[in-house]
Amino acid sequence: MAAERRSWRRPTAFRRREFTWAAYLGLAAFFLWSAWGVGADPSRIASGLGRGLTLLGDFFPPEATPRQARRIADKMVESVAMAMVSTVTGIAISVPVAFMAAENLSPKPLYYLNRGFISLSRALNAIIVAILVVKAVGLGPLAGVITITFKTVGFFAKLLAEDLEDIDMGSVDAVRATGASPIQTLVYGVVPQIIPRFAGLSVYRWDINIRTSTIVGIVGAGGIGSVLLTAFNRYAYQYVTAILIAIIAVVLVAEGVSAVVRRRYQ
Amino acid sequence: MTLDVTGLRKVYPTGDEALKGVDVSVGGSETTAMIGPSGAGKSTFIRCINRLTEPTEGSIELDGTDLTGLDDDGLREARRDIGMIFQEYNLVERLTVMENVLTGRLGYVSGWQAFRRSFPPDDVERAYEILERVGLGEMEDKRVDELSGGQRQRVGIARAVVQQPTILLVDEPTSSLDPETSNTVMRLLTEIAAEREIPVLINIHEVDLATEYADRIVGLHDGEVVFDGPPDDLHDGALDRVYRGGDPPESDAPPADETAASDSSVGSEPGGERASADGVVSPDGGTTDRPGPGEP
Ligand SMILES: Nc1ncnc2c1ncn2[C@@H]1O[C@H](COP(=O)(O)OP(=O)(O)OP(=O)(O)O)[C@@H](O)[C@H]1O
Ligand SMILES: [Mg+2]
């Protein structure tokens, strides 16, 4: 029916095909430049691998004296306790922060303030935060709890705020229209819409916090990490392996619990 | 109980003047249907009455109290007497039917009672009665997201009625429903209004549902009332004015196909008129569904 055949090609994100290729080339160049910059040359990788394998022999079999085993257990309990406490405090702080960081519920200045706080918490790695907090409050699990609480707020408040921004405002309007007070509107119109996600996120964050709590000890913020560091410093590699196995076991259990609970709330 | 709206204007922050000085009074136990094309300002009008949308100018008197002058507490108290029903039902999906219905009593309980879901026995009894009245007996513990559209709208009606309002505001209760269910919902609304002797103001797209169930029709076009009278007076010329903003005595006779379209608008087959009313071609060539910015 048409005299002239028309051609069609999928439009590209970069508008012109040349730009697409230029972008891919640029990306490849950036990768090569970075690899060269960090000194990742193949011969070094090969020799490192060889040394790594010899070293691996020193790590097995895992071994811990009864005193060391007790120390692992004590510090592991401390890690888990730190994770538990900071999950609760972190979420308690996250809730108001999330409401203030939800664009549809919060006035602009408050919104930016809380978004800023969330970005700060997300920008800093737990270890960096822990170093700063240890400087401020000294060595020990308190520093760990403060660190993990701070990190929890960045994660939890951000995701909760995004959920709050997605709620159906129509049902909130309907609750308001009955003459409900702002608190009641929150309880009946807003909270039911976010409860399932809230529960899922809490457990998920708890499992992340268990992982974090095993590492912040490296810089003195309490938990099993400190034991790991001393073991490494004394070249007690078989002891290190025992510690790592304990960490892996606890993290796996936490992840399993978290997965089961989250599936329940879907 | 009477509602007197005078000189109501609403200009949205975007600059849209949705209402351009609307005067409407409703009272007694009269059912008033507000018809008009999409974008005419029907929803805006209803939302301005209980100030879910803040009006720009004008007065809204409910039994002599001007709602526009009320502070937050006063407004909440006034809202308890205004039942509102929404096009998209606006129920809280994850709550049960009973919780949604009892939402209508929130204005009478404390925040703590609301949190504990401990409503006075009278409220609970009333909620049960109303659920039976709207045909949802035994459904109280179902979660709302398990219900059909028609059932949800009946929960919406129950939530408004349990408030024991002195007026019902209804925004397009049937546009998400099939013709059969639409009729049931309209009948329910008018019957409840009669039983409780309260006025009902219903926004509605379907002209034949409006003429069938309402005692009075208000036609809104582009933020202005262009018709106000009994359904019997809503002849083709008036419909023209509502849906196309045309002024029949002065305009040329409409082409045959347009007459046919507006004729079918008052036809009696349920649900059939919505498509045709939306499809009526306006003088500038666009459909009435989306009036152009420069349309008078
Ligand atoms: N929140 C808003 N912000 C800006 N403009 C709005 C808003 N809500 C409505 N409007 C504008 O106000 C006018 C009236 O809208 P309204 O929703 O009241 O019409 P309607 O008669 O209810 O239409 P429909 O039949 O489609 O529901 C429209 O031009 C619309 O674009
Ligand atoms: Mg509307």
CA B236 to chain centre: 23
Contact B79 A195 (CB under 8 A): no
Q: Is the model more confident about A36 or about A116? A: A116
Q: Mutation test of ligand 1: which of B9, B34, B42, B201 has the most ligand atoms closer than 8 Å to its C-beta?
A: B42
* E strand or H helix at B88: none
pLDDT band for position A148 (cuts 50, 70, 90): very high
Q: Are B91 and B156 in contact (CB under 8 A)?
A: yes
With the C-alpha atoms ordered B97, B103, B108, B114, is the resulting torsion angle positive or negative? positive
**Cβ atoms < 10 Å from Cβ of A229:** 16
Query: Which residue, among A171, A176, A193, A194, would best test binding to B if mutated, counting the most B CBs under 10 Å from its CB?
Result: A171
Give the pLDDT confidence of B29-46 residue by residue, as tens digits. Answer: 899 999 999 999 999 999
pLDDT band for position A151 (cuts 50, 70, 90): very high
Q: Is B138 exposed, middle or buried (0-12, 13-18, 19+ CB in 10 A)?
A: exposed
**Which residues make beta-bridge pairs with B8?**
B22
Closest by CA to B57, choosing from B8, B20, B103, B101, is: B8
Residue A83 has pLDDT above 70, yes or no: yes
What CATH architecture applies to the domain B1-67+199-282? Answer: 3-Layer(aba) Sandwich (3.40)
To the nearest whole Å, the CA of B295 is away from the closest chain A CA by 30
Closest chain B residue by Cα to residue A193: B94
- How much is the pLDDT for A2? 54
Distance (Å, rounded) from C-alpha A176 to C-alpha A135?
48
To the nearest whole Å, the CA of A176 is away from the closest chain B CA by 8
Residue A4 has pLDDT above 90, yes or no: no
- How much is the pLDDT for B226? 93
Is residue B43 in contact with ligand 1, taking CB distance under 6 Å?
Answer: yes
Phi-psi region of B253 (alpha: psi -120 to 50; beta: other; left: phi over 0): beta
**Cβ atoms < 10 Å from Cβ of B95:** 22
Closest by CA to B101, choosing from B162, B151, B146, B147, is: B162
To the nearest whole Å, the CA of B70 is away from the closest chain A CA by 13
* Residues of chain A contacting residue B82, judged by C-beta atoms under 8 Å apart: 177
Considering just the CA atoms, what is the radius of gyration of chain A in Å? 25
Closest chain A residue by Cα to residue B109: A180
Contact A171 B82 (CB under 8 A): no
To the nearest whole Å, the CA of B292 is away from the closest chain A CA by 27
**Cβ atoms < 10 Å from Cβ of B184:** 17
Largest CA distance in chain A: 89
- How much is the pLDDT for B287? 42
pLDDT band for position A1 (cuts 50, 70, 90): low
How many residue pairs bridge chain A and chain B with CB atoms within 8 Å of each other?
80
Closest by CA to A156, choosing from A87, A81, A215, is: A87
Sketch out chain A's domains with CATH numbers: 65-265 (1.10.3720.10)
Query: Which residue, among A172, A178, A184, A185, would best test binding to B if mutated, counting the most B CBs under 10 Å from its CB?
Result: A178
pLDDT truncated to tens, each residue of chain B (296 aa)? 789 999 999 999 999 999 999 999 998 889 999 999 999 999 999 999 999 999 999 999 999 899 999 999 999 999 999 999 999 999 999 999 999 999 999 999 998 998 999 999 999 999 999 999 999 988 999 999 899 999 999 999 999 999 999 999 999 998 888 888 899 999 999 999 889 999 999 999 889 999 999 999 999 999 999 999 999 998 888 888 888 876 544 444 444 444 444 444 444 444 444 344 443 444 444 444 444 444 44
* Residues of chain B contacting residue A196, judged by C-beta atoms under 8 Å apart: 94
CA atoms within 13 A on the CB side of B10: 27
- How much is the pLDDT for A3? 65
- Look at strands B57-62 and B2-11 and give their pairing: antiparallel
Distance (Å, rounded) from C-alpha A77 to C-alpha B104?
49
Closest by CA to A160, choosing from A204, A122, A198, is: A198
Closest by CA to A244, choosing from A85, A131, A76, is: A76
Give the rounded percent of residues in chain A with a pLDDT score beyond 70.
98
- How much is the pLDDT for B121? 94
Distance (Å, rounded) from C-alpha A93 to C-alpha B72?
29
Instruction: Give me the mean pLDDT over the A111-130 stretch.
Output: 94
Q: Are B160 and B193 in contact (CB under 8 A)?
A: no
* Residues of chain B contacting residue A192, judged by C-beta atoms under 8 Å apart: 92-95
* Least confidently predicted of A62-76, A223-237, B87-101, B265-279: B265-279
Is B166 in CB contact (< 8 Å) with chain A?
A: no
Distance (Å, rounded) from C-alpha A255 to C-alpha A260?
9
Instruction: Give me the mean pLDDT over the A220-224 stretch.
Output: 87
- How much is the pLDDT for B293? 43
Distance (Å, rounded) from C-alpha B29 to C-alpha B15?
36
Q: Are B227 and B219 in contact (CB under 8 A)?
A: yes
Give the pLDDT confidence of B197-248 residue by residue, as tens digits. Answer: 999 999 998 899 999 999 999 999 999 999 999 999 988 888 888 888 765 4
Is residue B209 in contact with ligand 1, taking CB distance under 6 Å?
Answer: no
Is residue B290 in contact with ligand 1, taking CB distance under 6 Å?
Answer: no
Is residue B165 in contact with ligand 1, taking CB distance under 6 Å?
Answer: no
- How much is the pLDDT for B247? 59
Contact A175 B50 (CB under 8 A): no
Distance (Å, rounded) from C-alpha A133 to C-alpha A137?
6
Instruction: Give me the mean pLDDT over the A226-244 stretch.
Output: 88
Closest by CA to B162, choosing from B83, B257, B109, is: B83
Q: Considering only CA atoms, which residue is closest to atom 7 of ligand 1? A: B12
Instruction: Give me the mean pLDDT over the A53-57 stretch.
Output: 81
Contact A178 B115 (CB under 8 A): no
Instruction: Give me the mean pLDDT over the A217-241 stretch.
Output: 88
- How much is the pLDDT for B268? 42
Distance (Å, rounded) from C-alpha A163 to C-alpha A169?
12
Secondary structure (3-state) at B129: helix
Q: Where are the domains of chain B?
A: 1-67+199-282
CA A174 to chain centre: 37
CA dist B122 to A5, B130, B162, Å?
75, 12, 11
Task: From the CA of B47, give the closest atom in ligand 1.
Answer: 18
To the nearest whole Å, the CA of A109 is away from the closest chain B CA by 19
Is residue B41 in contact with ligand 1, taking CB distance under 6 Å?
Answer: yes
* E strand or H helix at B192: helix B179-196
Phi-psi region of A125 (alpha: psi -120 to 50; beta: other; left: phi over 0): beta
Secondary structure (3-state) at B38: coil
Distance (Å) from CA B17 to ligand 1 centroid = 9
Planar angle of CA B49, B60, B238, nearest 5 degrees: 75
List alpha helices for chain A, DSSP H. 17-37, 42-59, 66-100, 108-123, 126-137, 141-165, 169-177, 182-185, 191-213, 225-233, 237-265
Closest by CA to B30, choosing from B197, B159, B195, B236, is: B197
Contact B111 A183 (CB under 8 A): yes
- How much is the pLDDT for A98? 94
